[in-house]
Structure 1
Amino acid sequence: MSVIYILLSISIIVAVVFFIAFIMAVRSGQYDDSYTPSVRMLFDDELVKEDSKTKTDNSKD
């Protein structure tokens, strides 16, 4: 029974360490994405053109 307590306490300690590492990574800006928004604006027009083509194709049917 004492082994369960030891394993439980070790797993909680490991979980807390990973949670602290995750919080530190978020605060340091590691997950900030500065590249995708600049590229996304280049592809917005293509999506609109495809939508307008499908609307005209659907209206012909």
Structure 2
Amino acid sequence: MDILFLLIPLSVVLVLLILVGLWWAVDRGQFEDVEAEGQRILHND
């Protein structure tokens, strides 16, 4: 039972880190045009 006092805060911190990372990626425009990168690989320059 004592391990829950360690695991619950650690899992909350992990979830918060994941949410901050996703927010950062969306804010920086990482998901703006996901189709263009797939098309860029297929076309030769």
TM more than 0.5: yes
Q: CA RMSD in A?
A: 1.7
Task: Determine which structure has the larger helix proportion and give its number.
Answer: 1
Number of corresponding residues: 36
Structure-1 residue corresponding to 2:5: 5
The runs of 5 or more residues in structure 1 that have no matched partner are: 37-61
Structure-2 residue corresponding to 1:27: 27
Identity, in percent, stands at 22
Compute the TM-score of the two structures, normalised by the length of structure 1: 0.53
Which of the pair has the greater relative contact order for Cα pairs under 8 Å at 6+ separation? Answer: 2
The Cα of 1:35 is off from its aligned counterpart by 2.2
